Amino acid sequence: MRKAVVVTLIGAGLAVAGSAVAGAAVDLGRLPAVGAPGPAAPPADPPPPAEEAPPAEEAPPAEEAPPADEAPRGFELEIDPELDAQFGPRAVNAADAAVIVEEAFPGARVTEAELDERDGGPVWEMTFELGGDEREVEVDADDGRILD
């Protein structure tokens, strides 16, 4: 491991040094000759000036960020790999279930979503805070119904 790091550092140093030498030659208006001694070829004529592009259209104003109390919040997500493989893709994902809970319980803030099983089907066990209390509810992962 130490050898690889040292080689990497040396390689990076050589790359930087080589860039500095090449940059100095360009700054002097000449490039070093390759393979033959003697003066380098004179610099090429500068390219013709580019045509001016038409003015760009003004971009629409950016949307304002939502107030802090309305900003999207994250939550803990727990998915058992066996259940995930068993149920495959679900019509209602954890983010959808969080929105469903927060709309059903105004003022709620989802803190955790866990993929679970109920009656042989996938459900999201949602933990949320509301009015200083922690509550749980299950959301059907197939159709989005709140089950309890």
Q: Which residue has the higher pLDDT, 42 or 44?
A: 44
Amino acid at 80: D
Residue-level pLDDT at 17:
45
Mean pLDDT of the chain: 74
Phi and psi, residue 89, nearest 5°: -60, 140
The model's pLDDT over 62-106, given as tens digits with 9 standing for 90+, comes to 555 545 455 456 999 999 999 999 999 999 999 999 999 999 999
Closest CA to 137 of 90, 105, 95, 106: 105
The model's pLDDT over 11-43, given as tens digits with 9 standing for 90+, comes to 444 444 444 444 444 444 454 555 555 555 566
Q: Which residues, in sequence order, are CB contacts of 136 under 8 Å at separation 6+?
A: 125, 126, 127, 128
